[in-house]
Structure 1
Amino acid sequence: MSSTVPAASLAPAALHRLRDETLDPGQLAAYNLYLTAGPAGLRLGVADVQRNKFLVLEEYAAPEAGTTLAQQVQALAAEHDLLGRPGWNRVRLAVHNRAFTLLPAPLFRPGDETAYLRLHHALDGQHESVHAYTHKGLDVVSLFAAEKPLTDWFARTYPAGRLVHRTSALLQGVVQQSEQNGPARVYLSIGPQQLTVLVMRGKRPEFCNVFPYSTPEDLIYYTILVMQELQLDPDQDLVMVWGDLMHDSELFTILRKYIRNLRFGNRPFDLSYSYRLNDLFEYRYFELFALHLCE
């Protein structure tokens, strides 16, 4: 006799569950729900629309071997008091993977998303779906693939929700903090085994890619390689860092060894954050917060 494992048994362990006591789960129309899903696991944020303020941050462990992101999200939604519920003012989900590209908006033709993406990614049409997100004001379109069961669940659960790539949240957050005619700067977002490198000149993106890494040496190699290709100087040009690292970690140590002008990034501006988030480092969860800037 076969047995079915209950969905809730696949629910991931909570690493952080921070909530402001002013959150009213009975008034979801007053809030926006933000989600990021990828190798680092699932992260959830809730922002009060009227106060422009983040009230909730929750982080869940990455899926265990043999468990997909879609199974993780659905299992969590089965027992969560917020995730999976309808009635939100706005919902955004950002997926984190290497299957994406940025295209100048004048070159984009709706309907050709798959053809564009195949130039950069070996698409698995059976298990992946292709999506596009337009960065208004930047003349840039993000094309990306996502796990089909995850996107199917999201479309069923939140028909009016918006799906984006995690690099789009990073880009929107960096644009908000950039000067119109500022110098070239390098922005790093560091996650488990994935490094995102974004290079901006003023408010214009010049380079964006996600690299795999397994050692601190890999991480600094890709960072220096990009800087050299764009004729940037590790001794002078600013490198801003966000992500999952500590001040005393090997990753930060090797970055500091080879890059002189290195700084940790801040949270997105023009937003406020519950006091419950005060104990978190400012440079963490940037993309989750920056989803608030994605239309």
Structure 2
Amino acid sequence: MVTGQKFMDLTINNEKQYYKLSILITQDGLSFCTQNTENNTLDIFFNKSFNNNLDPEKILVELQNAIKFNIDSSILTAISKVKVVYANNLYNIVPQKYFSEKKLTDYLKFNTKILHTDFIAFDELNNIKANSVYIPYTNINNYLFDQFGEFTYTHSSTLFVDLCLVNSSNKLNTEVVYLNIYTSTFDICIIKDNKLLLANSFEYFTPQDFIYYVLFCLEQLKLNNEELQMYLCGKINETDNLYHYLYTYVKNIEFLDTSFLVQQLKNLSEKNINPKQNLLLLSNLI
């Protein structure tokens, strides 16, 4: 069994290798950007939300068209590194002491419909002794391998949990809640004293759905809404209904500090790219 965060190997004979390509694939949208590795600037940024959640076959068509019509051939042939993030709810985080590569199916079978054609991968989380077990989209992996050769892929839960743990490292004796919000899904990560209490993803259709799932998680862990600290990222701002619902129930809310992205990717403001709304896509380049 091959792990996640892996390389699919193919040698590319290309004299001009100046760009990284980061791709974020969700069920309700996709985005990608290219980074010029010589000056750490972004050249191409693409983002599209789907009207409905799509299956992997339709997502592949969207990705093929997006790359075909939005990446110039001069950049396409100069891409030397491709990194893909899969954001779906087909995952589980398993503590290292209970983990076995021989039991990957067992970790997903109770909350995920597994097809006989599905490939199950896993990523090691950097900051805790655990693995994220998940199902990547094999058809998309095959397309990217044919298009670019060697590339790596990981699950969004791996990136998100690691980022949350780093951000929480100096926040002891406080329950810290992180929300990463997409068009119709969101991720929640809850940490206390550098320990992961919960990591999960939910689909929502209305702001009422959204706040119900958030409050349900807080209630299950018996957290005090007046005392916990909440950080937001993704598709949310202070004028959104989602934000208004959160602020009704949670006292301490901030947007996640993404200054590290602004420092390392030089032209985000020039490109009018909001790092808080594209945290995982951009972090995937670092």
TM-score (norm: length of structure 1) = 0.79
Q: Are the structure 2 counterparts of residues 213 and 169 from structure 1 closer, same or farther at C-alpha, using a change threshold of 3 Å?
A: same
Q: Which residue of 2 aligns with 1:146?
A: 136
Is contact 1:52–1:272 with CA below 8 Å preserved after alignment? yes
Q: Which residue of 2 aligns with 1:277?
A: 269
User: What is the CA–CA distance in structure 2 between the aligned matches of 1:46 and 1:172, rounded to whole Å?
Assistant: 23
User: What is the CA–CA distance in structure 2 between the aligned matches of 1:156 and 1:111, rounded to whole Å?
Assistant: 29
Is contact 2:41–2:267 with CA below 8 Å preserved after alignment? no
Q: Are the structure 2 counterparts of residues 234 and 53 from structure 1 closer, same or farther at C-alpha, using a change threshold of 3 Å?
A: farther
1:206-229 Cα offsets, whole Å, 9 max, x none, are: 210001111111111111111122
Q: Which residue of 2 aligns with 1:231?
A: 222
The alpha carbon displacement at 1:180 in A equals 4.9
The percent of aligned pairs where both chains have the same amino acid is: 15
Which range moved further: 81-90 or 38-47? 81-90
Residue type at the aligned position of 1:104: P
Q: Are the structure 2 counterparts of residues 248 and 63 from structure 1 closer, same or farther at C-alpha, using a change threshold of 3 Å?
A: closer
User: What is the CA–CA distance in structure 2 between the aligned matches of 1:176 and 1:82, rounded to whole Å?
Assistant: 36
Residue type at the aligned position of 2:63: V
1:114-137 Cα offsets, whole Å, 9 max, x none, are: 2322132111233x4322111234
The alpha carbon displacement at 1:94 in A equals 0.9
Q: Which residue of 1 aligns with 2:147?
A: 157
User: What is the CA–CA distance in structure 2 between the aligned matches of 1:78 and 1:56, rounded to whole Å?
Assistant: 13
For structure 1, the 5+ residue unaligned runs are 1-25
Which range moved further: 133-142 or 56-65? 56-65
Is contact 2:40–2:266 with CA below 8 Å preserved after alignment? no
CA RMSD of aligned residues (A): 2.8
* 1:21-32 → structure 2 map (5 Å cutoff): 29-32=17-20
The alpha carbon displacement at 1:46 in A equals 2.7
Residue type at the aligned position of 2:166: Q
1:244-263 Cα offsets, whole Å, 9 max, x none, are: 12321111111111111011
1:58 to 43, 46, 70: 46
Residue type at the aligned position of 1:272: Q
Q: Secondary structure at the match of 1:192?
A: coil
Q: Are the structure 2 counterparts of residues 106 and 268 from structure 1 closer, same or farther at C-alpha, using a change threshold of 3 Å?
A: farther
TM-score (norm: length of structure 2) = 0.81
Q: Are the structure 2 counterparts of residues 180 and 89 from structure 1 closer, same or farther at C-alpha, using a change threshold of 3 Å?
A: farther
The alpha carbon displacement at 1:85 in A equals 3.8
Is contact 1:189–1:242 with CA below 8 Å preserved after alignment? yes
* 1:1-295 → structure 2 map (5 Å cutoff): 29-49=17-37, 54=42, 56-62=44-50, 68-81=58-71, 85=76, 88-126=79-117, 128-180=118-170, 182=172, 183-267=174-258, 269=260, 271-277=263-269, 279-293=272-286
Is contact 1:34–1:46 with CA below 8 Å preserved after alignment? yes
Q: Are the structure 2 counterparts of residues 82 and 199 from structure 1 closer, same or farther at C-alpha, using a change threshold of 3 Å?
A: farther
User: What is the CA–CA distance in structure 2 between the aligned matches of 1:209 and 1:140, rounded to whole Å?
Assistant: 15
User: What is the CA–CA distance in structure 2 between the aligned matches of 1:173 and 1:53, rounded to whole Å?
Assistant: 22
Highest RCO, 1 vs 2 (Cα 8 Å, sep ≥ 6): 2
